Amino acid sequence: MPITNIISDSLDRSFSLYRDLIDSVDEAALSSKLPSLPSNTLGLQLWCVVGARESYTRAIMANQWAGFTCSLETATLIIPVAEALSRSAQAVSDVLKSIETYTDVQNRLIIDLLEHEAAHHGQLIRYLYALKLSIPSSWKSRYSLA
């Protein structure tokens, strides 16, 4: 299997984990911060995921970084966050399928996006534990969590 297919499959797995996460939290959790630690909210973690997907999608298409922006206006309501996660995942998948031959720059941007997705997985695991939220079974399985 070509490396681009492996990376695409890895991104799809990440997108699935985020779908499972947003399906497992309630709206109040989106406004929750880590107790006794400097942190943003769980919802703002997901806002960053959406913004990175949108920004990297634009960069991959342009073959260069074009800055960070996020279309998600609020990170405190489940439905808009879930829709933005879904929409941004589909946009990444669509752009990856539309490119016949990747440049080195595009490959680097795609790997950077995958790293960003994984970094937020680790951060969100801390939120799930610290806030005593239910951990989706897909996350438990993927990361050997209790």
Q: Which residue ranges make up each domain of the chain?
A: 3-143
Q: Which distant-in-sequence residues (6+ apart) come within 8 Å of 100 by Cβ?
A: none
Predicted confidence (pLDDT) per residue in 89-146, tens digit = 999 999 999 998 899 999 999 999 999 999 999 999 999 999 999 999 999 999 999 8
- The half-sphere exposure of 17 on its side-chain side, counting CA atoms within 13 A, is 23
Answer yes or no: CATH 1.20.120.450 is held by domain 3-143: yes
Residue 2 pLDDT: 59
What is the pTM for the complete model shown?
A: 0.95
Question: How does DSSP classify residue 132?
Answer: T
DSSP lists the bridge partners of residue 41 as 33
Q: Which distant-in-sequence residues (6+ apart) come within 8 Å of 102 by Cβ?
A: 4, 110
Rounded to whole angstroms, how far apart are CA atoms 52 and 117?
9
